[in-house]
Structure 1
Amino acid sequence: MSEPAAAPPHRRAEPCLDGLPAAAVARLQAAARAIRDGDEHAARQALDAALGLAPEHPETLRLYGVLHLRRQRPAEAQAWLRRALARWPDYALAHSDLGTALQATGDGEAALASWRRACALAPDAPMPWFNLGRNLQQAGATAEAAEALQRAAALAPDLLPAQVLLGDALAHLGRLDEADARYRAALALHPACGDAWRGLANLKTRPLSADERTRLAGLLRRDDLAPPDRIALGFALGKACEDQGDYAAAFAALGEANAQQRRLAPWQAGAFHALVEAVRAADAALPEPADPALGREAIFIVGLPRSGSTLFEQILAAHPQVEGASELPDLPETLAEESRRRGQPFPQWLARASAADWLRLGKRYLERTARWRAQRPRHTDKLPENWLYAGLLRAMLPGARIVDARRDALEAGWSCYKQQFYRLPHFACALTDIAAYIRDYERAMDAWRAAGPARIRTQCYEALLADPEREIRALLDFCGLPFDPACLDFHRAERSVRTASAAQVRQPLRRDTARAERYGALLDPLRLGLGLPPLGG
């Protein structure tokens, strides 16, 4: 069996099969089809045969790596891809695949380096640019992500995900006209693209038209829609109906979309209540912190989604000392790392954590988030569900400040019901679950604030609307920040806003944000769950 013909470094993205026997080419093509179809046995047979015909050919090695990636074995994938690159160091497609394998094992910086290398080697290939842009967006580097995604979309105008993700990146940067155009370009390619309709609906300051409502209703009558598209179209139809003032139709559309979403992964309100109670019990026995100032760099903004947290972050991020980092996964992931290290699920190990353990975990969080303080000394972390850990931060990051974003519970709960959330199961798919979640959240946060008022501030959304300057001054004072007038003009701050409120916080404060009253007795299940009197008698 002969070695493959010698070749110069391969500065290309597509497979190079020059010099291979025809039989080996046929085996590689069969392997690629089997990988695409999810047939691991057939793929292995074809790749083994290709290796026998042309030992150590880089494309065979790369496809073995792709096979392991598809089967969620990223460490094995890396080994095969590195063997391929040892043979062809400038093989762009292998660098791109290696980036995916590195990302899957948590090595985000190395993954970005691999994608950048692939883009440099094959600048006319769209997929390396798409992979780079998608992952830069996830890492919060939105401006650079938009540039990469623009390259991908220009090189492959029919690459639907590139158009949608570019729309998302542009929306997060506040370039709303351009974002709108990209979502519509995606719909020109695929009129029932749920992600594109979701993007248009999330440009919340722009109403959907009567014509768009008609189009959405027509699409939902099709029987060939994939479930994710059907759900996203349902949420968009709900917004279109509300924009047109047809609240009964909006409630019906949102109810159906939420019911479909809930069937995918039902929320377990009882189990979540038990979790909250277990965390509260553990919080009562926390050790005194080893370093009371640890975490002063961090400002956590927590609470219900759709309660003003993005607005409060935008105000703080307008301050020259604060970097707005948006919704960071680092706090729950730091705790998950500790759960894996101990071999016990959260929160079972909390009672055995010492002051030294909490000091180590606090330093780990600060290490993970250090990049957000490269330009400014402090950063915000506004993942709403971090409220569950607000009590634990007393031991882990005692110097941090926690802003509890509060909005009228009925308005906030209804706004959650209207918003499509992608992490499932989610409490927002049923009005009764929303009420149960709000009760757990408010009871826990009220207790933790009472125990540590210097650490936790309840920031009322309606109070901010009523007297912006007074509330902004008080918020800055709580965070230990000197007043800066830029915080009053927060909507002018140039930054990436990676939430569903990206369009809203680009505008001055609006006082006409209440919507729940328009739905009347339709929201009585939520009212009853919140302890409010129903309207329907």
Structure 2
Amino acid sequence: MAFIQPQCHVIMASADNNNEQIPGISMPHANHESALQLLNSQQFAEAESLLRKHLQLHSDDHIALTLLGHSLIKQQRLAGAIQLFKRVCELKPNLADAYGNLGLALQQQQDFSQAIAMLKKAVALDDNYHDAWNALGNLLMHTGQQQEGAAALIRAEQTDPFAPAMEAVAQAMSKQDYAQAEAGCREILQRHGHHPGAIAILAQLATQQKQWAAAEQMLQHALDYSPFNLGLWHKLAEVSSHAGKHEQRVYAAQQCVNIAPDQAHLASILGSSLAHAGKYQQALDAYERAAQLDPADANIQIQRGHILKTLGRREQAIQAFRHSIALREQNGVAYWALADFKNFDFNADDIAAMQAIAKDETAAAEHRSQAGFALANALERQADYAAAFEHYLQANKLRPNADFDAQQLQKHAAEGRELFGRALLQNKTSLSPNGPRPIFIVGLPRSGSTLIEQILASHSAIEGTMELPNLPRVMETLYQDSRQSGMSIEQFFERIPAENLSAYGQKYLDDTAIFRNGAPYFIDKLPPNFRLVGFIHLILPEAIIIDARRHPLDAGLSAFKQHFAAGHEFSYDLHNIGAYYNEYLKMMDHWDQVLPGKVLCQHYSEMINNTEQSVRRLLQHCGLEFEAACLDFHKNTRAVHTASSEQVRQPIYKTGVGHWQNFEPWLGPLLDSLGEETLARFE
């Protein structure tokens, strides 16, 4: 790990030996002041010339020697700077800054042992020497002396000269006075350009505006100064997640674990980062470590179980979920994890426990909701459809943070159809990016997309990945570029050259590379990408698109019965489900009109009833020869990270077709919302 010198110090000829940083200090000699001004204006050679002339007359001037040393450092002449700082130590053996500057220069020369020795002398002379404590702590951590390094970093925090200013910033943040907090941070950074606390707050403010790139840049800058700052690495992992930078997220999470290897929650963060990067076995290893560090944490056991389920290790996953229930009594989350196998049979004690959680108004809404979903699933498997539906209804109402606006969806969908019209899509030609050919499976959740993915991923030329969030992020990048150019999105698309469109496609391929292993085709099955078919066509003209379509009542009911980990906010209300389905149909009809033949519509019922014919049709659409392994998809041992993971490990079954009829008496809101015109299309 590279270290960058923080703030350089100049020793004052004052009685109390106070340290002051280069900007704004009071100099005893006019040449000092002139040299300092030259340094601050980055005229390093000029500063050197002035100081050397001065030293011809005042050879023992320790301030001039120090300034000259910093001038040489700025010119990448470390050896000369070190010799000058050693001379200052000889002249002023009792000044902490003399050893501090020498230690920081030795650090840059990668002479860590000598750097540590000099920095220890500096803090021994001045116990409040913040920069020396910070550099010492980082060096000790870097050389494996973690206990001593951690103590030094704690002392660095305790001696932070900007602590009062940071306290004022914290108060402003607590009052949500973000403008005042930002102003306070920027004032600190004018005096200390790498202050980690101030930068962390600015990064937090940037994330509130979804300015992920700006937040990332700030955090990287702060980490140059504080490479073992746990809070900065933790924040970088979070920012990297939002930015879709999976490798960086994993690296940041790993740094957190390296700094504090005995903290279970950090091992869990690493596990989550690895899982989102598709590295499931490594994720399991991280969760196993977390469980060893904190055997009483019920949430860790749930995360272990999810990874085991993804890897197809059903019995071990069930044991993990059961273990979580044993650790926490009101554990609706674990009960739903069991129910989400779709074919799990609860016993009488389980049902009683789930009923108790669902009724307990003192329990967290998250646990009540998921216990309700699980209880409904258990009752449905017993064919008690009336009771099951009542619990599904209550569970959906309890779903925390579910927020969906049907009118907003309709507005955005209409704008999308207008933007990606026939003229734009037919007149705008794009270059094909370099990389494998993506296969996008779009549609609604719970409509058979995982089955199609599993079938296609059983072909030797295709690899499955997961529901990748990257395409919407690339679209957002394009929107940001249009705003920065001062053009509307329509103007931007009209004027953008083909090679620039191709660059967005290349960005998508580059960003998703972590999920791939080299096959010529790969699958991205994020369902809401149905709204971005036109965008896919523009930036990835060779992409293959498949619409996984299911009867609206089967698809709608299946979504209503599912507690999704994230997203799909429409799915917790039957009326919203109908509105969403209708907008989906409108979008797919639009793509068929403006891009005829681009999208293959694969009906779930046809896949179930005419499997081989459907598989051959899918492969033909992909331009691939038929392979018999695609019919034995349930034997594929690949990791599957969706709610259908257990279902696609079974041969084709037909019980999902027409299942809505069991709940028909209670589906009035969904029927009304869909309307006769939509339903007539599926008669």
Q: TM-score range by the shorter chain?
A: 0.7 to 0.9
- The aligned amino acid for 1:360 is A
Cα gap change, 1:447 to 1:111, in 2 (>3 Å): closer
Q: CA deviation at 1:348?
A: 6.0
Q: CA deviation at 1:492?
A: 1.4
Out of 574, 599, 605, the residue aligned to residue 431 of structure 1 is 574
- Find the aligned partners of 2:322 and 2:406 in 1 and give their Cα distance: 38
Mean CA deviation greater in 501-510 or 123-132: 123-132
Q: Is the 8 A contact 2:358 2:368 kept in 1?
A: yes
Q: CA deviation at 1:336?
A: 0.5
Q: Is the 8 A contact 2:332 2:354 kept in 1?
A: no
Which residue number corresponds to residue 308 of structure 2?
170
Q: Report matched runs for 1:348-387 at 5 Å.
A: 349-350=489-490, 352-354=492-494, 356=498, 357-387=500-530
Which residue number corresponds to residue 183 of structure 1?
321
Task: Kindly indicate whether residue 473 of structure 2 is the aligned counterpart of residue 473 of structure 1.
Answer: no
Cα gap change, 1:247 to 1:359, in 2 (>3 Å): same
- The aligned amino acid for 1:329 is P
SS in 1 for 2:546: strand
- Find the aligned partners of 2:148 and 2:279 in 1 and give their Cα distance: 28
Write the deviation string for residues 217-259 of structure 1: whole angstroms up to 9, x where unpaired. 1112223222222222222222122122221111111112222
Out of 462, 472, 495, the residue aligned to residue 638 of structure 2 is 495
Structure 1 stretches lacking a partner, 5+ long: 49-55
Which residue number corresponds to residue 17 of structure 1?
151
Task: Kindly indicate whether residue 226 of structure 2 is the aligned counterpart of residue 84 of structure 1.
Answer: yes
Cα gap change, 1:428 to 1:190, in 2 (>3 Å): same
Write the deviation string for residues 263-288 of structure 1: whole angstroms up to 9, x where unpaired. 84442212211221221122233153
Out of 442, 447, 472, the residue aligned to residue 585 of structure 2 is 442
Q: Is the 8 A contact 1:146 1:166 kept in 2?
A: yes
- Find the aligned partners of 2:473 and 2:577 in 1 and give their Cα distance: 25
Q: Is the 8 A contact 1:334 1:364 kept in 2?
A: yes
Q: Report matched runs for 1:120-199 at 5 Å.
A: 123-199=261-337
Q: CA deviation at 1:109?
A: 2.3
Which residue number corresponds to residue 273 of structure 1?
410
Cα gap change, 1:13 to 1:396, in 2 (>3 Å): farther
SS in 2 for 1:326: coil
Task: Kindly indicate whether residue 464 of structure 2 is the aligned counterpart of residue 330 of structure 1.
Answer: no
Q: Is the 8 A contact 2:432 2:502 kept in 1?
A: no
Out of 651, 660, 665, the residue aligned to residue 521 of structure 1 is 665
Q: CA deviation at 1:161?
A: 3.0
Task: Kindly indicate whether residue 427 of structure 2 is the aligned counterpart of residue 288 of structure 1.
Answer: yes
Cα gap change, 1:465 to 1:425, in 2 (>3 Å): closer
- Find the aligned partners of 1:171 and 1:468 in 2 and give their Cα distance: 26
Q: Is the 8 A contact 2:358 2:369 kept in 1?
A: no
Mean CA deviation greater in 204-213 or 15-24: 15-24
Q: CA deviation at 1:362?
A: 2.2
Task: Kindly indicate whether residue 397 of structure 2 is the aligned counterpart of residue 255 of structure 1.
Answer: no
Out of 538, 542, 551, the residue aligned to residue 395 of structure 1 is 538
Q: Is the 8 A contact 1:14 1:93 kept in 2?
A: no
Q: CA deviation at 1:384?
A: 0.5
State the superposition RMSD in angstroms.
Answer: 3.9
SS in 1 for 2:509: helix
Q: Is the 8 A contact 1:296 1:401 kept in 2?
A: no
- Find the aligned partners of 1:77 and 1:497 in 2 and give their Cα distance: 34
Q: CA deviation at 1:463?
A: 1.1
- Find the aligned partners of 1:271 and 1:467 in 2 and give their Cα distance: 38
- The aligned amino acid for 2:226 is A
SS in 1 for 2:404: coil
Q: Is the 8 A contact 1:129 1:152 kept in 2?
A: yes
Q: CA deviation at 1:308?
A: 0.2
- Find the aligned partners of 1:14 and 1:516 in 2 and give their Cα distance: 64
Cα gap change, 1:155 to 1:266, in 2 (>3 Å): closer
- The aligned amino acid for 1:276 is A
- Find the aligned partners of 1:472 and 1:151 in 2 and give their Cα distance: 42
Q: CA deviation at 1:100?
A: 4.5
Same amino acid, percent of matched pairs: 31
Q: Report matched runs for 1:89-100 at 5 Å.
A: 99-100=237-238
- The aligned amino acid for 1:281 is E
Which residue number corresponds to residue 250 of structure 2?
112
Specify the structure having the higher radius of gyration (Cα): 2
Write the deviation string for residues 149-171 of structure 1: whole angstroms up to 9, x where unpaired. 11211222123332222111111
Which residue number corresponds to residue 52 of structure 1?
none
Q: Is the 8 A contact 1:183 1:197 kept in 2?
A: yes
Q: CA deviation at 1:145?
A: 1.1
Which residue number corresponds to residue 344 of structure 2?
206
Cα gap change, 1:22 to 1:14, in 2 (>3 Å): closer
Cα gap change, 1:476 to 1:432, in 2 (>3 Å): same
Q: CA deviation at 1:121?
A: 6.1
Q: Is the 8 A contact 1:289 1:394 kept in 2?
A: no
SS in 2 for 1:327: coil
What is the TM-score with the length of structure 1 in the denominator? 0.83
Cα gap change, 1:455 to 1:169, in 2 (>3 Å): same
- Find the aligned partners of 1:22 and 1:162 in 2 and give their Cα distance: 33
Q: CA deviation at 1:114?
A: 3.4
Task: Kindly indicate whether residue 464 of structure 2 is the aligned counterpart of residue 320 of structure 1.
Answer: no
SS in 1 for 2:675: coil
Q: Report matched runs for 1:30-69 at 5 Å.
A: none
Mean CA deviation greater in 436-445 or 265-274: 265-274
Q: CA deviation at 1:83?
A: 2.6
Structure 2 stretches lacking a partner, 5+ long: 1-125, 185-191, 208-214
Task: Kindly indicate whether residue 486 of structure 2 is the aligned counterpart of residue 342 of structure 1.
Answer: no
Q: CA deviation at 1:485?
A: 1.4
- Find the aligned partners of 2:536 and 2:416 in 1 and give their Cα distance: 12
Write the deviation string for residues 78-102 of structure 1: whole angstroms up to 9, x where unpaired. 54444333xxx6x778755654565
Q: CA deviation at 1:177?
A: 1.2
- The aligned amino acid for 1:153 is A
- Find the aligned partners of 2:331 and 2:502 in 1 and give their Cα distance: 47
Q: Is the 8 A contact 2:466 2:641 kept in 1?
A: yes
- Find the aligned partners of 1:405 and 1:521 in 2 and give their Cα distance: 27
